[in-house]
A and B are shown apart, each in its own frame.
Chain A
Amino acid sequence: MATVAADPRAKYVAGGTNVVDLMKEYVEQPSLLVDITALPLRAITHSSDGVRIGALATMSEVADHPELAALFPAVVQALLLSASPQLRNMATIGGNVMQRTRCAYFRDVSQPCNKRAPGSGCAALRGVNRQHAVVGGSEQCICTHPSDLAVALLTTDAIVHVQGRTGERRIPFDRFHVLPGAMPQRETVLERGELITAIQLLKSPVTKSSYYLKLRDRASYEFALVSVAAGLDVAGGTVRAARVALGGVAPTPWRSHEAETALVGQPANAATFAAAAQAATRGMRGYGENDFKVALTRRAVARALAHAGGIA
């Protein structure tokens, strides 16, 4: 940990599915890789308020874990809709939330990219931006965050457990990722050298009635154009609590407080879901090739809510 904290070009490696890929493209050029796979951080343990998932648990291990599908269906669905079986056997939960954008300009060292090379410009802004953000971006960066799991985690009030040199801290997951703003090279609140040790999920009636919807060009093995994680606590036909999170639309996994506000206290029916879906797209804008994402998000939110609310 001291080594990685001291050397700005040292990186941790676990599953390797992101860092090795980016090394081949010269996007990441670490001087040192620190293999953390021998650390005992793989356990999945249940408690009275939820489950604690070790950072080194693989996506497959979490997706196949017997009790999680009933407690956190959106999380398990998100994992199974991610990547491929091979990649899920390699990739870890900690690495998954740390993975970097799939923006083609970020991944191409011959292209301007403020995230990879601060100050060089954002080629996507007026370039090929079909896959890019419609909310939360800036003049410096309109990338999207690729993780499905991260979107689902936003519906579970998850907490990231982090170990640093001076001690531990717990970071609410909805504050873990940061928007690009003027500094797109900064993606999370982690300090150099800090290591995710576990992610803790809190169970609730909302998480038990949750659903993950992923829309993409192909039927499988592809990142989302737009995705939605929705959870509803419905009692007597009325929404008591709701969580709505979006993927494929923002540089970070995107929690839609607007949609949630439009749901709570309302009857759990199609009209309410349509209103919430409209609220979810407030402030969204396209950049030329991704304008379709706004309407697609609206439809996706409505559909995901219908599933979560049991009226699909």
Chain B
Amino acid sequence: MSFGKVTRRRFLVRAAAAGIVVGTPRLSAAAQAVASVLVVPASGPGPIPVMLNVNGAAHALKIEPRVTLLDALRERLQLTGTKKGCDQGTCGACTVLVDGRRVNSCLTLAVMAQGKKITTVEGLANGDQLHPVQAAFLQHDGFQCGYCTPGQIMSAVALLAEKRPTDEASVREWMSGNICRCGAYPNIVAAVRAAAGSAS
């Protein structure tokens, strides 16, 4: 999504903790930590170098600080498996893993995902060998139009890694961040439970 003609935003990149404590002895440990931070000069508003590690490969991009991870993946890296459903964190179609944790890439600024391990649906299979969750979605017909499916699969992969309970009610609740307009929920739940090795 473009921000149009409004003023672009500058971005103060991540502050790195430095050695010199500027605070007085009165400050608590937390306050000293805050005071000791070394601030990196602001980046932007124009394109800045952003290095993204996606599915094990490093990519050097030059993008504005306001570009979301979702747009960076789709528009810059042509990894269109991750979908843009609502672009505002209310549908889960954009779900990817960052350091193994499921997140909405539409609300993640790409510049803030630097230095982290990003996994998209394209990174699940091992050559021609599907990830067990992908196989389960096929086996159990866990999709109709397929648009929400990459997000459902990424979310399910994380759910299993999180070791959430896998009874039906729990799967429904732990998958509730992924909406399916086609209503394929019964088969999505069956696929997730099968991938978890749960009895149906």
Mark A residues whose CB is within 8 Å of B: 1, 3, 13, 16-17, 20-21, 23-26, 29-41, 54, 60, 83-87, 89-90, 161, 163, 167-168, 195, 197-198, 219-221
Q: Which of B41-75 contact A (CB under 8 A)?
A: 42, 65-66, 68
Number of chain B residues whose Cβ lies closer than 8 Å to a Cβ of chain A: 51
B residues in contact with A35, CB < 8 Å: 11-15, 112
Complex: A36 Cα to B17 Cα, angstroms: 11
A29 touches B6 (CB 8 A): yes
B68 and chain A: residue at smallest CB distance = A20
Rounded to whole Å, the gap between the CB of B161 and the closest CB of chain A is 11
Rounded to whole Å, the gap between the CB of B51 and the closest CB of chain A is 15
Rounded to whole Å, the gap between the CB of A22 and the closest CB of chain B is 10
B residues in contact with A23, CB < 8 Å: 3, 9, 66
Mark B residues whose CB is within 8 Å of A: 1, 3, 6-7, 9-17, 26-28, 30-31, 33-34, 37, 39, 42, 65-66, 68, 87-90, 92, 95, 101-104, 107-109, 112, 155, 158-159, 162, 172-174, 176-179
B15 touches A197 (CB 8 A): no
When the two chains form the complex, which single residue of B12, B107, B158, B162 contacts A90, counting CB atoms closer than 8 Å? B107
B102 touches A21 (CB 8 A): no
Rounded to whole Å, the gap between the CB of A75 and the closest CB of chain B is 18
| 7 smallest beta-carbon distances between A and B, as pairs | A84-B177, A220-B176, A34-B12, A89-B101, A38-B14, A197-B30, A221-B176
B33 touches A38 (CB 8 A): no
Rounded to whole Å, the gap between the CB of B12 and the closest CB of chain A is 4
B12 touches A85 (CB 8 A): no
Complex: A256 Cα to B26 Cα, angstroms: 37
Since A85-B162, A219-B176 are in contact, a sample of 9 more A-B pairs with Cβ atoms closer than 8 Å, ordered by chain A residue number, is A13-B109, A16-B108, A29-B7, A31-B9, A32-B11, A86-B103, A87-B177, A90-B103, A195-B34
